Amino acid sequence: MNKFNNANVLLEVKDLRTYFKTDNGILKAVDGVSFTVHEGETVGLVGESGCGKSVTNLSIMRLVPSPPGKIVGGEVIYKGTDIMTLSEKELRNIRGNKISMIFQDPMTSLNPYLRISTQMIETIRLHQDVTKQEARAKAIRMLQLVGIPSAESRIDCYPHQFSGGMRQRVMIAMALSCNADLLIADEPTTALDVTIQAQILELIKKISQEMGTAVILITHDLGVVAGMCDKVCVMYAGRVVESANTDDLYENPMHPYTKGLIASVPKMDGSREERLFSIEGQPPNVIDLPPCCPFHPRCNRTCEVCTHAYPPVKKTGDDHYVACWLHCSEEEREEALKAARKGEN
């Protein structure tokens, strides 16, 4: 049982759809994603490249470049207000203030021309009514919190004077400088080495516990998820195919994709098998996907209905949801098959 189930809902994403217009057709990067984040909870979004993890989070912040991108449907409810309906000005009160984001590559997300102090003070003064000195003091406090040694002098350095891990620390300090209650971390450790990754993950964990910040962690590394998250959503081709508490998901994966993903990670437990389990084929092209289960060409348990209709999301256990026809009843499958055939004719 997830200890956050009784906490207040902080963010609720409902049936979010973000499409991109391309020369080859409509690219449905995010196609009906729903999940909730409770206060203080860490939610993991996992999936392979191109499955829509990053676009989901850019959509939450309304940062999808438009055109070509467009959020065509869905709601993102943050503490009772729908972010999608806010004006640009109202949005600015939330973005970077209440909901902050850190990105994969800390070098490209910091401005190389400006000192760290300039960048941090700008963020703080944009959202809080403080003097420059107060903002600077706060920035130094934040840098100390994320473990930058001699923060008073380092704050006047330029980004290139920091190493990759230190830059990511600066990004975290900046993201949290305005008392955010939701931190979206988009592959925060992918560009870092294992030992530095361990440092940064420890830091995010520590901060989320101390400050009660909820975290959405986007990653493709199932090991990182296991250590960090309370709840996991597995994404495939723009949809959440399974979501569950972390323990439940690893112990009892329901969707064939989740099973395959977990089985195809080489493990360090000493049992070296000759061959790894591998999911055959490639992730699909999300342009003009047929209205069926996008995983069926790679699935080892495909049945007829899989090629005709998208499976509904089923509750299979405590807080465990899965979108797969295997977990639907015989009648439901037949009904869907009939309906699909009718539509085709």
Partner 1 sequence: MENKEIILSVRNLKQHFPIDEGGILKKTVGFIRAVDGISFDVYKGETVGIVGESGCGKSTTVRSIAQLYKPTTGEILFHGVDLCKADKDTLLKERRNIQMIFQDPYASLDPRMTVRNIIMEPLRTYNRRGLLEKKYTEDELEERVKDLMEKVGINKAFVNRYPHEFSGGQRQRIGIARALALNPEIILADEPVSALDVSIQAQILNLISDIQKDMGVTFIFIAHDLGVIQHISHRVIVMYLGKIMEISSSDELYSNPLHPYTEALLSAAPIPDPKIERNRKRIVLEGDVPSPDKERHCCYFYDRCSKRMDKCASCVPPMFDCGNDHKVACFLYDDRPVAEEADDTLTEEEQKLKAKEARKHKKD
Interacting residues with partner 1 (CB under 8 A): 48-49, 163, 165-166, 193-199, 201-202, 220-227, 246-247, 250, 260-262, 264-270, 272-280, 282-283
The residue type found at 43 is V
- In the complex with partner 1, the residue whose CB is nearer, 232 or 309, is 232
**DSSP letters along 87-129, please?**
-HHHHHHHBTTTEEEE-S-HHHHS-TTS-HHHHHHHHHHHHS-
Compute CA distances 301 → 54, 175, 238, 277, whole Å.
29, 44, 21, 15
| Residue 249 and residue 258 in contact, taking contact as beta carbons nearer than 8 Å | yes
State the Rg of the chain over Cα.
21
Minimum CB separation of residue 194 from partner 1 in Å reads 5
- In the complex with partner 1, the residue whose CB is nearer, 85 or 285, is 285
- In the complex with partner 1, the residue whose CB is nearer, 271 or 329, is 271
Q: Which two tokens stand for residue 81?
A: 């207000």
- In the complex with partner 1, the residue whose CB is nearer, 90 or 202, is 202
Minimum CB separation of residue 266 from partner 1 in Å reads 4
* CA–CA–CA angle 217, 277, 195 (5° rounding): 40
Three-class SS state of 20: strand
Q: Which two tokens stand for residue 224?
A: 């990182």
- The CA distance from 92 to 90, in Å, is 5
Three-class SS state of 308: coil
- In the complex with partner 1, the residue whose CB is nearer, 168 or 177, is 168
| Residue 179 and residue 141 in contact, taking contact as beta carbons nearer than 8 Å | no
- In the complex with partner 1, the residue whose CB is nearer, 173 or 222, is 222
| Residue 304 and residue 337 in contact, taking contact as beta carbons nearer than 8 Å | yes
Angle, in degrees to the nearest 10, between helices 164-176 and 132-145:
130
Q: Which two tokens stand for residue 108?
A: 């490209």
Minimum CB separation of residue 282 from partner 1 in Å reads 5
Minimum CB separation of residue 75 from partner 1 in Å reads 30
Three-class SS state of 32: strand
Minimum CB separation of residue 232 from partner 1 in Å reads 9
Minimum CB separation of residue 252 from partner 1 in Å reads 12
- In the complex with partner 1, the residue whose CB is nearer, 5 or 118, is 5
Minimum CB separation of residue 56 from partner 1 in Å reads 17
- In the complex with partner 1, the residue whose CB is nearer, 34 or 144, is 144
Q: Which residues pair with 248 in a beta bridge?
A: none
Minimum CB separation of residue 177 from partner 1 in Å reads 23
